[in-house]
Amino acid sequence: MSASGTYVCLCNAVGFELTGEPALACYCHCNTCRVYGGAPARVGAYSPEQFKLTKGSANLISYESGPGKIRNSCKTCGSMIYHILPNGLAVPPLGGVKWASDGVPVVPTMHIWYGDKGLEEANDDFIKYDGFPAGFA
């Protein structure tokens, strides 16, 4: 299966590609995602088979923002690259992904950590969890 989308950071040192539909498609409003991502929420998590770092692994700086939650950024340009969840899923910055013409749509179906949100309101009928739903890592 060809890549659904590719990403390169601002300085072109680090890149990754994504394949297929996200293993988990939701909006995460947790405080650390908000600070790390600079956005109201982060969207979409990919399995290790779907997320492939294509270059620049030696150019990453990593920070453990919570137990087993590793946030990686480019040490040259500061772009956030991805973070790894304790369950091994990778959360990339989808806003920076260049999607292939046949890329697989990302269709979130829920909100998590909604209790951490700011003043923005989600105007949809998706289920809203204050933390992780049962069974999430």
By CB under 5 A, name the binding residues for Zn ion.
9, 11, 13, 28, 30, 33, 74, 76-77
For Zn ion, the closer CB: 102 or 135: 135
Residue 135 CB, shortest distance to Zn ion, in Å, is: 16
Least Å from the CB of residue 37 to Zn ion: 8
- Sheet containing 5-8, strands listed edge to edge, beginning at the edge strand earlier in sequence: 51-55, 15-18, 5-8, 98-99
| CB-nearer residue toward Zn ion: 30 or 80 | 30
In angstroms, give the least distance from the CB of 107 to Zn ion: 18
* Three-state secondary-structure class, residue 35: helix
The least distance separating Zn ion from the CB of residue 125, rounded to whole angstroms, comes to 21
> How many angstroms separate the CA atoms of 116 and 131, rounded?
8
Strands (E), 1-137: 5-8, 15-18, 24-28, 42-45, 51-55, 60-66, 69-74, 80-84, 90-91, 98-99, 110-112, 127-128
Residue 77 or 137 having the CB closest to Zn ion: 77
Pick between residue 20 and residue 96 the one whose CB is nearest to Zn ion.
Answer: 96
